[in-house]
Amino acid sequence: MVSKNELKLITSLQQKKCRDREGVFIAEGPKIIQDFINAGASLVKLLSLKGQFDGISVKVEVDPKTLKKISGLKTPNTAFAIFKKFPESKITRTGLSLCLDGIQDPGNLGTIIRLADWFGVSQIICSEHTVDCYNPKVVQATMGSLARVSLHYTDLAPYLKQHTPIVYGGFMNGASIYETQLPKDAILVMGNEGNGISSEIERLIDTKVSIPNMGSGQTESLNVASATAILLSEFKRSTGK
């Protein structure tokens, strides 16, 4: 059984301020919940239909009606979990780091976190106006990668000023990424979906890079997650692990 007050609290976790206050995030669906458990995430509460996650002490069996009430998805899943947020790790200064200057779409951030995990980029530094990485839509899109990539929210300008590696930025009018010498230690900055990298941050970029348009030239831009995929691939291909 879940009390009315508990239901109210759980529903409130769709909002950032409530997640921040409680220090938790939510995930829906047995596959993604299992991914987070396997990755060592700390489970606070698990609400699920009968016959799933048996043996988990914090599991509460609920009916489909209750899941429907708390779900943020169009089609509620069979399990809903509350996890503790991951502890903040220290920012490292070696290897390739990703900086996000105002990514707004949760699906894009989720995809980018998954890409970082794939390419062994262990940290992502986000501007304060980047969408919350614990937003339920981000969590769903990361497919568990959120447990393996550490995200930091900070004022990007001071961070970039004090940082030593060369700062690259994804622009429409930069040098071809295919013809740019790329180092192992670097920061790659990607900008907002509509406006790109802000002018304040643009001043702190050492080298602007682009993905050459090989089509008719009428396509305005690539989706930021697609562009991040290609740029990360190029950094990793040309510098090796």
Coil, helix or strand for 14?
A: coil
Residue 184 Cβ vs a second copy, minimum distance, rounded to whole Å = 12
Determine the interface stretch with a second copy among 62-70, 132-140, 155-163, 217-225 (rule: CB under 8 A): 217-225
Q: CB of 166: closest distance to a second copy in angstroms?
A: 20
In this structure, is the dihedral angle defined by the CA atoms of residues 60, 61, 62 and 64, taken in order, positive or negative?
A: positive
Decide if residue 27 touches a second copy (CB under 8 A). Answer: no
For residue 219, count CB atoms less than 10 angstroms from its CB and return exposed for 0-12, middle for 13-18, buried for 19 or more: exposed
Whether 102 contacts 129, CB under 8 Å? yes
Contact between 222 and a second copy by CB under 8 A: the answer reads yes
Nearest residue (CB) to a second copy, 18 versus 143: 143
Contact residue for a second copy among 120, 183, 185, 200 (CB under 8 A): 120
Q: Which of 47, 78, 99, 114 binds a second copy (CB under 8 A)?
A: 114
| Beta-sheet pairing, 59-61 with 96-101 | unpaired
In whole angstroms, what is the distance from residue 113 CA to residue 91 CA?
A: 16
The amino acid sitting at 120 is: G
Which member of 15, 154, 178, 183 binds a second copy (CB under 8 A)? 178
Instruction: Tell the smallest beta-carbon distance from residue 63 to a second copy (Å).
Output: 27
Question: Is 229 one of the binding residues for a second copy (CB under 8 A)?
Answer: yes
Task: Tell whether the torsion through CA atoms of 186, 204, 105 and 79 is positive or negative.
Answer: positive
- Closer Cβ to a second copy, 66 or 108, answer by number: 108
Interface positions, 138-177, toward a second copy (CB under 8 A): 141, 143-145, 148
Cα distances (angstroms) measured from residue 167 to each of 117, 118, 156, 188, 208:
20, 21, 12, 6, 9
CB count within 10 Å of CB 45 equals 17
31 to 60: interface string for a second copy, x by CB under 8 A: -------xx---------------------
Q: List residues binding a second copy (CB under 8 A).
A: 38-39, 107, 111, 114-121, 141, 143-145, 148, 178, 211, 213-216, 218-220, 222-223, 225-227, 229-230, 233-234, 236-237, 241
